[in-house]
Each structure stands twice: as C-alpha cells, then as structure tokens.
C-alpha cells in the first residue's frame, strides 16, 4: 500500500488511510516502529530533535506504509491537531496497535497541548511520550488522572523523547541496546575531550576554536 497523497487531502482521506492500513496484512518488521505526531507543522522546528536523534541511532523515516526503507528500525511522521482535527487524533490513536506502531512520540504547544495526553488515552496500552513544545504546555501534557498514564519530557526536549522511545524498544531488541550504549559512550567521550581541550588549551583558545568550528559547519550546511 504505497502512500500517495490523494488529490483531495482531506481529513477523511487521512482517516481512511489509517484505517485501511490497520486492516492490511503486514508483518511487524515492515511497519514503522515509532510514530511521531505533532499538533501543527509549526511544531516541526522543535520536534526535529526527535528525528535527528533517531537518525543518529540508525533509524530511517518510513513514508510508505508497507514498503519500508532498508533500515530495520523506522519511524513515521504526521501532523495531527487535537482541536482542529479531533477525528484524525482518534483514528491515529485507535489504529496505532494494528498499524504496528510500538511507541508514539507526540508533541504539541500552546496552553491546550492535548495531543499527547489524548493520544495516550486512545492508543493505550501503546506507550506515548509527550513533548510539550513550549514551557506553557508542560502542565497540559503531563496532567493526567490516575489510571491514564503518559510519560513526558521537559519543554522542547524532543531529542530525549526519541532516546526514551528507543530505550523502551531496546528491551526487545539487543541491536538497539548496543546502539544506545555506543551513543552514550560517544556522549561521555565528547565531554571528556572538551574538558581536556578547555583546560589544556585555555578558555580563550577553546572559545576561538569552537567559534571557527561553528562557522565552518554553518558554511557547509549552506551548500
Ligand atoms: N495545537 C494545534 N492544534 C491543537 C493544538 N493545541 C498547538 C500546536 C502548536 C500550537 O497549537 O501543537 O504548538 C500553535 O499552532 P499553529 O498551527 O497555530 O502554529
């Protein structure tokens, strides 16, 4: 079932897609492992941290439901607004299990950031990691009644949401456990290297080198 954008990209067409994928006979290894959803495309600059973390851990983005990319572990991304398109929110949450999604990362901003908490309720028991896009969204994301769980990261920390999602998956997949350990080793090595550099080279040299590296990478990114 290749995903192609319909001529009329209505909410009904989006729901139809989700429900027909839920009914498709697809093995778990073909479907996206992680579903990333966000309340608005304006959240993408914050949610991109989750994509970056997953790419660093060797995940590929899956854009066609039953034609996975080469990587064994994959994620998908949709915009789902809890208030503008509640029917799509319901459809995404309700079909998550049958679509083979193991864990959902849901980000929303503003004071009524209800996408993560409502998705957690509807998709239950599929775990949902909430990302408050702004500080003012934190209470709305984490404020769940007893019996209706959600886990959440601090405002804007979508990178950590992805790491947490992979931690959950790694309980079932040793390959992911190894990747997380390698990620952590690199993280600690980077801190140690910085510590040597700032101490042994002196603060001024460290700052100048870092500024040079920053301008080099922005020059590269522009081309
Ligand atoms: N939002 C979108 N639908 C429901 C909610 N709560 C959130 C988005 C975004 C904010 O409202 O997650 O962070 C503003 O959205 P927009 O589209 O106006 O930029």
Per-residue pLDDT of 65-80, as tens digits, reads: 878 899 999 999 999 9
What's 54's domain CATH number? Answer: 3.40.50.1970
DSSP type of residue 155: T
Other CB atoms within a 10 A radius of the CB of residue 9 amount to: 9
Q: How far apart are alpha carbons 10 and 146 in whole angstroms?
A: 36
Q: pTM, whole model, 2 decimals?
A: 0.93
Q: Do both 108 and 206 map to the same domain?
A: no
**Domain final residue pick, 156, 172, 188:** 172
Q: Name the CA dihedral angle for 188, 191, 192, 196, rounded to a multiple of 10 degrees.
A: 170
Query: Is 4 part of any domain?
Result: no
**pLDDT confidence of residue 217:** 63
Lowest mean pLDDT, pick from 27-31, 81-85, 136-140, 146-150: 27-31
Site to substitute for ligand 1 among 46, 81, 86, 111, most atoms within 8 A of C-beta: 81
Between 7 and 177, where is the model more confident? 177
Query: Is 1 part of any domain?
Result: no
Distance 39 CA to ligand 1 centre (A): 5
Q: Do both 85 and 192 map to the same domain?
A: no
Q: How far apart are alpha carbons 80 and 84 in whole angstroms?
A: 8
Q: Do both 58 and 138 map to the same domain?
A: yes
Query: What are 53-62's pLDDT values in tens digits?
Result: 999 999 999 9
Q: How far apart are alpha carbons 119 and 81 in whole angstroms?
A: 11
Distance 142 CA to ligand 1 centre (A): 17
Q: Do both 168 and 214 map to the same domain?
A: no
Q: Do both 141 and 207 map to the same domain?
A: no
Q: Name the CA dihedral angle for 35, 41, 44, 50, rounded to a multiple of 10 degrees.
A: 0
Q: Do both 192 and 138 map to the same domain?
A: no
Q: Do both 142 and 185 map to the same domain?
A: no
Distance 124 CA to ligand 1 centre (A): 23
Q: What string of DSSP letters covers 127-149?
A: -EEEEESSGGGHHHHH---TT--
| 111, two tokens | 């004071």
Q: Do both 139 and 161 map to the same domain?
A: yes
Q: Is the pLDDT of residue 120 over 80?
A: yes
Q: Do both 56 and 129 map to the same domain?
A: yes
Query: What are 20-37's pLDDT values in tens digits?
Result: 999 998 888 899 999 999
Backbone angles phi, psi at 110, to 5 degrees: 80, -175
Q: Note down the domain range covering 212.
A: 179-222
Q: Do both 101 and 163 map to the same domain?
A: yes
Q: How far apart are alpha carbons 197 and 179 in whole angstroms?
A: 27
Q: Do both 17 and 102 map to the same domain?
A: yes
**Domain final residue pick, 136, 153, 172:** 172
Q: Is the pLDDT of residue 223 over 50?
A: no
Q: Do both 52 and 24 map to the same domain?
A: yes
**pLDDT confidence of residue 66:** 79
User: 43 labelled as ligand-binding?
Assistant: yes
**pLDDT confidence of residue 218:** 57
**pLDDT confidence of residue 221:** 45
Q: What percent of the chain has pLDDT over 70?
A: 96
Q: Considering its fold, how many domains does the chain have in total? A: 2
Query: Is 6 part of any domain?
Result: no
Alpha helix (H) residue ranges in the chain: 11-23, 44-56, 86-95, 115-123, 138-142, 158-170, 174-201, 203-221
pLDDT band at residue 222 using 50, 70 and 90 as cut-offs = very low
- The protein residue whose alpha carbon is closest to atom 17 in ligand 1 is 40
Query: What are 154-204's pLDDT values in tens digits?
Result: 999 999 999 999 999 999 999 999 999 999 999 999 999 999 999 999 999
Query: Is 106 part of any domain?
Result: yes
Query: Is 2 part of any domain?
Result: no
Q: How far apart are alpha carbons 110 and 136 in whole angstroms?
A: 6
């Amino acid at each position: 079932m290749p995903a192609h954008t319909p001529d009329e990209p209505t909410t009904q067409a989006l729901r139809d897609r989700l429900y027909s994928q839920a009914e498709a006979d697809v093995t778990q290894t073909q479907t996206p492992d992680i579903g990333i959803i966000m309340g608005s495309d304006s959240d993408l600059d914050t949610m991109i941290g989750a994509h970056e973390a997953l790419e660093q851990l060797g995940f590929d983005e899956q854009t066609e439901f039953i034609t996975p990319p080469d990587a064994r572990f994959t994620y998908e991304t949709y915009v789902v607004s809890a208030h503008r398109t509640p029917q799509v929110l319901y459809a995404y949450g309700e079909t998550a299990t049958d679509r083979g999604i193991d864990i959902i990362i849901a980000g929303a901003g503003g004071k009524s950031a209800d996408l993560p908490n409502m998705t957690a309720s509807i998709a239950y028991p599929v775990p949902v990691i909430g990302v408050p896009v702004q500080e003012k969204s934190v209470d709305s994301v984490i404020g769940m009644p007893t019996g209706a769980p959600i886990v959440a990261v601090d405002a804007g920390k979508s990178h950590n949401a992805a790491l947490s999602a992979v931690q959950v998956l790694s309980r079932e997949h040793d390959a992911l456990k190894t990747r997380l350990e390698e990620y952590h080793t690199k993280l600690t090595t980077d801190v140690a290297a910085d510590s040597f550099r700032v101490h042994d080279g002196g603060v001024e040299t460290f700052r100048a080198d870092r500024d040079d590296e920053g301008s080099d990478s922005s020059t590269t990114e522009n081309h």
